[in-house]
Amino acid sequence: MMKVYECCGIESVTKKVYCSSCGKEITNEIDVPEEGTVYSYTVIQVPPAQFAHLAPYTVALIQLKNSKAKVTARILESVAIGDQVKLDSIVDGAYVFKKVGSSKVLHNS
């Protein structure tokens, strides 16, 4: 499961100290499944030196299932907006997701 932090209806995978809406300390932690849909993506062709060995690689913003929060992850395959993805592994501190269903399947089901 992945941790999502919530206050005043704002959900984030980033743990912040105080809620920017009410100013109180954020204490509500929710477990959400490590899966979701591709909200958007890019294919990075010009990488920083640290990731040169991976290029070109896909990075996506994933809308997590059962949550308003999104998470940024590297994706093993090429993807389109709406594709279903699931956590594959955590590599050197990065979430690496894999595609488990295409947006077309989602629309037809």
Q: Which residues bind another protein (CB under 8 A)?
A: 10, 12-14, 39-52, 54, 57, 59-61, 69-74, 81, 92-96
DSSP run (H or E) holding 105 = helix 103-108
Task: Give buried/exposed letters for 19-48 (b at 16+ CB in 10 A, else e).
Answer: beeeeeebeeeeebebbbbbeebeeeeeee
Measured from the CB atom, is 28 or 72 closer to another protein? 72
The least distance separating another protein from the CB of residue 108, rounded to whole angstroms, comes to 19
Measured from the CB atom, is 7 or 69 closer to another protein? 69
| DSSP category for residue 82 | T
Measured from the CB atom, is 22 or 81 closer to another protein? 81
Q: Can you tell me the distance from the alpha carbon of 66 to that of 24, in angstroms, rounded to the nearest whole number?
A: 24
The least distance separating another protein from the CB of residue 48, rounded to whole angstroms, comes to 4
